[in-house]
Amino acid sequence: MKILTVIGARPQFIKAIALSHAVASTEGVEEVLLHTGQHYDDNMSAVFFRELGLAEPKYRFDLGGGSHGHMTGKQLSAIEDALVSERPDVCLVYGDTNSTLAGALAAAKLHVPVAHVEAGLRSFNRRMPEEVNRVLSDHAATWLFAPTQTAVENLAGEGIKGDRVQLVGDVMYDVARLVIDNPARRTDIVRRLGLEGRPYVVSTLHRQETTDDPARLVAILDALAETAKVMPVILPLHPRTRKTLAGLPQAEKAASVLTMTEPLGFFDMASLLAGARLVVTDSGGLQKEAFFHKVPCVTVRDETEWVELLQLGWNRLPESFDVQGIRTAIAGALASAPGNAGEPYGDGHAAKHILRYLMQTCK
């Protein structure tokens, strides 16, 4: 069986490692990696290939930047050419980026079966480009690998059901266990940032709905700055966020009291999360990573796809996006002590379940 895997953005590099490792240890399966270049600088791309032992892609393009339509169109064309050349048994896509949608569309139009990993997530907010990408990718897919029971139910509500939908768990949990089960793999990031023996907050901000709304971004930064009076706040800066901050003089005062770093590699971020008191983020993936490390989270968005974490008390949303609303959510999360919530994201072997199903189905 030959799998052509389309990746392009930081979260996909991390997710891909679980299945790529499973493929490497399985006879009769070949994986061809295609990197669209949606994330292209070293801190957002190459570092993950080095750290996680992900094989160098056979196809590597430079198709990031520009509008959503231009980016997706260029990716669609390049992926189509690779599919025609490789003639894979399945095209595998992850998550909800433009690369995901381009891969799913290109394969579907060539009648190559599409496997969508992390299928069925819904924020029910069509203003988010990620929501459009995930809905269209799900409806183009042949097989849909859902991380949670909620995702399965979302798909059923859209008429997608039966054996083509498989509840396998979350591949991100597979990868998180590389550090959770092996503390020796932690880096010295906590020491390097002078955080040993101190409570601290980890934050990331990168989504378009945050960076394109100066009032919201400034409110979040002001709330984080208030928190930084009590404990350090570590903010690895996404390139988009750094660019936005450079044009926001009103954010300078708040930003000056935060500990800003370059984007962090997988093991640095996992090691930082392992000792954190709280996570504040607009990232879908980091919400779950916080939970894997049993760290409470505030998601600075209007909604989240990972509703299980809200229901279990490990995550919360601000009631309003002024400084007070965000500060209240942060204070509530710091004061809470959620119990052990089990494992709503599977058994840590999602990649093996996916590969086993594809091998049986593609015979």
- Active site positions, annotated: 206
Strands (E), the chain: 2-7, 30-35, 59-60, 90-94, 114-117, 143-146, 165-167, 201-204, 233-236, 259-261, 278-281, 297-299, 315-316
Which residue carries 């984080």 as its tokens? 224
Tokens of 75: 């990716």
Q: Reduced to 3 DSSP states, what percent helix, strand and coil does the chain have, rounded to the nearest 5?
A: 50, 15, 35
Report the largest interatomic distance among the alpha carbons of the chain, rounded to a whole angstrom.
60
User: Vertex 273, ends 272 and 279: CA angle to 5°?
Assistant: 120
DSSP string, 19-59: HHHHHHTSTT-EEEEEE--SS-SGGGTHHHHHHHTPPPPSE
> Which residue(s) pair with 104 in the sheet?
none
Half-sphere exposure of 293 (CA within 13 A, CB side): 28
What distances in angstroms separate CA 362 from CA 6, 113, 195, one per listed residue? 19, 9, 50
Residue 12, SS3 per DSSP: helix
> Which residue(s) pair with 94 in the sheet?
117
Quick one: which of 80, 83, 69, 60 has its CA closest to 8?
60
Q: Is the dihedral of CA 180, 57, 77, 206 positive or negative?
A: positive
DSSP string, 137-167: HHHH-SEEEESSHHHHHHHHHTT--STTEEE
